[in-house]
């Protein structure tokens, strides 16, 4: 594969529980791309004590999503900053949850001169997502999230620090069901949009983390 053909911008999409964050991080390591996860960046933004920082903190503590306007503004600020850095490209995770965000993200990428983006959809069934999210646990001591996949299902204590594993309060079945329904409604237009642009790569997410990663590598190197 010629270097110029490698995607410089990879956008990950997939339902909650699909493991897209994990795959995004693996991809950024493999191709030496910067990882831009909306979760981390929004949490960092909350620490700036201005109007948006304080308001973000308030709504995110309630479990509400940041509005698209704020998402795109923050993404734009990140891309502006990256113009001053020498980077090969980046992986976007969590910026294109709804159709407006997908369209505006493309405009922002064009504006800053990042062409050649690829979009990876990690597909898992509603049932699989529901199981993974309602059964995942968190370490009480170090906060590590233990996914409900493969060997991890057998863990009785945290594999990093030995701490006690508990269920997360926001992983209640009724909350998860609502989140998945919301995802389905908002994301189908996003998926169709990327399909029309011939950017979409669909990956079977119902495999081990390693096999999902292998499939992604095969697909983007083709």
Active-site residues, by number, are: 20, 97, 136, 168, 179
User: What is the rounded distance in angstroms from the CA atom of residue 127 to the CA atom of residue 129?
Assistant: 5
The least CB distance from residue 139 to Zn ion, in Å, is 3
Q: How many helices and strands, by DSSP H and E, does the chain display?
A: 8, 8
Q: Two tokens at 220?
A: 């983007």
Instruction: Give the residue among 135, 126, 99 at the shortest CA–CA distance from 181.
Output: 126
Interaction site with Zn ion (CB under 5 A): 139, 141-142, 144, 158, 160-161, 163
E strands, the chain, in order: 9-13, 34-37, 90-93, 117-123, 137-139, 145-146, 165-167, 200-204
Q: What does the DSSP assignment read for 134-160? A: HH-EEETTT--EE-SSGGGGG-SB-TT
Q: From residue 3, how far is each of 7, 36, 65 by CA, in Å?
A: 9, 22, 37
Please, which residue, 63 or 162, has the CB nearer to Zn ion? 162
Rg (CA), the chain: 18
In angstroms, the CA 111 to CA 72 distance is: 13
The CA distances from residue 78 to 50, 51, 95, 146, 181, in Å, are: 17, 19, 12, 30, 30
Look-up of token digits 């064009």: 110
């Amino acid at each position: 594969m010629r270097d110029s053909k490698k995607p410089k911008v990879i956008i990950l999409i997939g339902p909650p529980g699909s493991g897209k964050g994990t795959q995004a991080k693996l991809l950024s390591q493999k191709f030496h791309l910067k990882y831009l996860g909306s979760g981390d960046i929004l949490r960092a933004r909350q620490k700036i004590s201005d109007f948006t920082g304080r308001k973000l903190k308030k709504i995110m503590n309630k479990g509400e999503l940041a509005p698209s306007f704020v998402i795109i503004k923050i993404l734009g600020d990140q891309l502006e900053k990256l113009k001053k850095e020498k980077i090969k490209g980046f992986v976007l995770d969590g910026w294109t949850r709804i159709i407006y965000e997908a369209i505006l993200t493309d405009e922002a990428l064009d504006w800053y001169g990042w062409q050649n983006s690829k979009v990876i959809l990690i597909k898992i069934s509603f049932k699989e997502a529901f199981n993974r999210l309602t059964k995942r646990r968190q370490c009480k001591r170090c906060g590590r999230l233990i996914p409900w996949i493969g060997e991890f299902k057998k863990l009785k204590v945290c594999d990093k620090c030995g701490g006690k594993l508990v269920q997360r309060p926001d992983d209640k079945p009724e909350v998860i069901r609502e989140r998945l329904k919301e995802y389905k409604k908002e994301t189908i237009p996003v998926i169709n949009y990327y399909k029309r642009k011939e950017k979409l790569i669909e990956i079977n997410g119902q495999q081990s983390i390693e096999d999902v990663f292998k499939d992604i590598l095969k697909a983007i190197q083709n």
